[in-house]
């Protein structure tokens, strides 16, 4: 049936054919002007990977941990927690707007340390969120509504691709500070300090707490100290994104060091946490958003406004993942097992980094691949150029994002040799 686009014809037809039961008319289209949007850059990689029939193909775009067989890994402590939860036959009543209280408490303690002065004085508020993205968005919305003096958010260059639309859709403006040095594949400390020193007061500065995404390049403690002092001088609002606590070095306290240092130094930060990677809870969507306030009264006011903001977005957060995470964090044996499993995941990643470099040397590569070992976390910024990436994909069926970022999680002892072969072939 031809698409009818004007209402006049619609009314005429309806007038003529009252008994046309099935579809007498079609209303005009509301969405003719809606353009096809570009596909997600990372998902596009996985889609192309799926279509490839090469048995040696490798998907190094995926930002999800894989075991040494290349399979998704559900942590043992998670399965145990699930079994425990199932026996309790709990109901499915709505959580409070701010989420599951036991989870929020444990989430904050994990990040800040249970002996933290901030927690003792009740001057922080933590709400459960829809993983890291949900946390960042709640934070961005909160800034947009209540941090009205300055609208600019400074991201490191480069940053996670989704940071930009998160802050932009929330009404903030995006700017950047130098971070990654392509000539060293490392941290551009001088450039960062230089740029930060010029950021206008009260702007928001986003810092990746550990395992920077996409580069894997983290500042060293002494560099963090310098940044803290400078940021304090510039009077900037610090927003920490911690998506990899435990997953970066294998040690949860070590990975949270920067966050804790900044708080000790007097920064009243906002903090996003995700349990997608460190607990493998990806699709359960578990995260937290924390605001460190000046005192308990302010924390209460901030909490009330967070709830008012959250209620018209999704009312209250999903219960399942938070129950799992809370069970793990609050049950000593499970918490212990979790810490070991996180360490195991981090260690496997570190081992793959070392094996990749060893294999590249074996292949005869004369390049300096030290950065592969120095970088930390799930991702590695190889330094490969777009043409080289394209060759790797076309000739070797090795898939990664155009910026040369590979997910080390997709590397196994079974395929690291092939990966080294491919990288050497396109870079020699």
Question: Which of 223, 268, 330, 421 touches a copy of itself by CB under 8 A?
Answer: 268
Region 393-412 residues binding a copy of itself, contact defined as CB under 8 A: none
Q: Let me know: does 166 contact 199? Beta carbons within 8 Å.
A: no
- Of 257, 329, 254, 251, which Cα lies nearest the Cα of 288? 329
- Of 212, 215, 227, which Cα lies nearest the Cα of 261? 227
Q: Is 33 in the site for a copy of itself (CB under 8 A)?
A: yes
Print the binding letters for residues 282-321 with a copy of itself: x by CB under 8 A, - otherwise.
xxxx-----x-xxx--x-xxx-xx-xxx-xxxxxxxxxxx
Nearest distance in Å: CB 211, a copy of itself: 18
Print the binding letters for residues 2-21 with a copy of itself: x by CB under 8 A, - otherwise.
-x---x--xx--x------x
Q: Is 134 in the site for a copy of itself (CB under 8 A)?
A: yes
Q: Is 84 in the site for a copy of itself (CB under 8 A)?
A: no
Q: Is 47 in the site for a copy of itself (CB under 8 A)?
A: no
Q: Is 39 in the site for a copy of itself (CB under 8 A)?
A: yes
The residues carrying an active-site annotation are 160, 241, 277
Region 214-253 residues binding a copy of itself, contact defined as CB under 8 A: 229, 232-233, 235, 237
Distance of CA 178 to the CA centre of its chain: 20
Detail the DSSP E strand segments found in 118-184: 124-129, 152-157, 173-178, 180-181
Q: Let me know: does 259 contact 227? Beta carbons within 8 Å.
A: no
In angstroms, rounded to a whole number, what is the distance separating the alpha carbons of residues 44 and 53? 16
**Number of residues located near a copy of itself, criterion CB under 8 A:** 95
Nearest distance in Å: CB 26, a copy of itself: 5
Tokens of 28: 């005009």
Q: Is 365 in the site for a copy of itself (CB under 8 A)?
A: no
Nearest distance in Å: CB 364, a copy of itself: 37
In angstroms, rounded to a whole number, what is the distance separating the alpha carbons of residues 301 and 311? 16
Q: With the C-alpha atoms ordered 398, 246, 341, 360, is the resulting torsion angle positive or negative?
A: positive
Distance of CA 253 to the CA centre of its chain: 19
Question: Which of 194, 264, 333, 395 touches a copy of itself by CB under 8 A?
Answer: 264
Indicate the SS3 state at residue 175.
strand
Q: Is 146 in the site for a copy of itself (CB under 8 A)?
A: yes
Question: Which of 9, 12, 17, 40 touches a copy of itself by CB under 8 A?
Answer: 40
- Of 211, 285, 280, which Cα lies nearest the Cα of 249? 211
């Amino acid at each position: 049936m031809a698409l009818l686009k004007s209402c006049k014809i619609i009314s005429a037809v309806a007038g003529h054919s009252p008994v046309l039961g099935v579809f007498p008319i079609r209303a005009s289209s509301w969405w003719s002007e809606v353009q096809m949007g570009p596909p997600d850059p990372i998902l596009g990689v996985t889609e192309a990977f799926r279509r490839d029939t090469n048995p040696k193909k490798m998907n190094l775009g995926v930002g999800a941990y894989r075991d040494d067989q290349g399979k998704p890994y559900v942590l043992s402590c998670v399965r145990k927690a699930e079994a425990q939860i199932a026996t309790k036959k709990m109901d499915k009543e709505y959580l409070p707007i701010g989420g599951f209280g036991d989870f929020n408490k444990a989430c904050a303690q994990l990040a800040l340390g249970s002996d933290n002065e901030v927690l003792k004085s009740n001057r922080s508020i933590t709400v459960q969120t829809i993983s890291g993205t949900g946390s960042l968005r709640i934070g961005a919305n909160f800034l947009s509504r209540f941090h009205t003096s300055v609208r600019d958010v400074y991201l490191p260059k480069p940053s996670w691709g989704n940071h930009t639309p998160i802050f932009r859709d929330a009404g903030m403006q995006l700017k950047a500070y130098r971070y990654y040095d392509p000539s060293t594949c490392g941290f551009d400390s001088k450039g960062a300090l230089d740029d930060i020193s010029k950021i206008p007061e009260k702007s928001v500065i986003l810092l990746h707490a550990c395992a920077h995404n996409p580069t894997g390049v983290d500042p060293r403690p002494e560099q963090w100290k310098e940044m803290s002092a400078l940021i304090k001088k510039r009077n900037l609002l610090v927003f920490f994104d911690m998506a990899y606590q435990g997953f970066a070095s294998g040690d949860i306290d070590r990975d949270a060091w920067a966050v804790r240092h900044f708080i000790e130094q007097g920064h009243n930060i906002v903090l996003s946490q995700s349990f997608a990677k460190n607990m493998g809870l990806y699709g359960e969507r578990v995260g937290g958003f924390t605001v460190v306030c000046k005192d308990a009264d302010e924390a209460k006011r901030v909490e009330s406004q967070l709830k008012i903001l959250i209620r018209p977005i999704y009312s209250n957060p999903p219960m399942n993942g938070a129950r799992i995470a809370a069970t793990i964090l609050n049950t000593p044996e499970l918490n212990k097992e979790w810490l070991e499993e996180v360490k195991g995941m981090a260690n496997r990643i570190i081992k793959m980094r070392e094996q990749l470099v060893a294999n590249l040397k074996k292949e005869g590569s004369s390049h300096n691949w030290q950065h592969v070992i120095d970088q930390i976390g799930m991702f590695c910024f190889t330094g490969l150029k777009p043409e080289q990436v394209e060759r790797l994909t076309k000739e070797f069926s090795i898939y990664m994002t155009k910026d040369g970022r590979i997910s080390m999680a997709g590397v196994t002892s079974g395929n690291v040799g092939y990966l080294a072969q491919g990288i050497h072939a396109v870079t020699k």
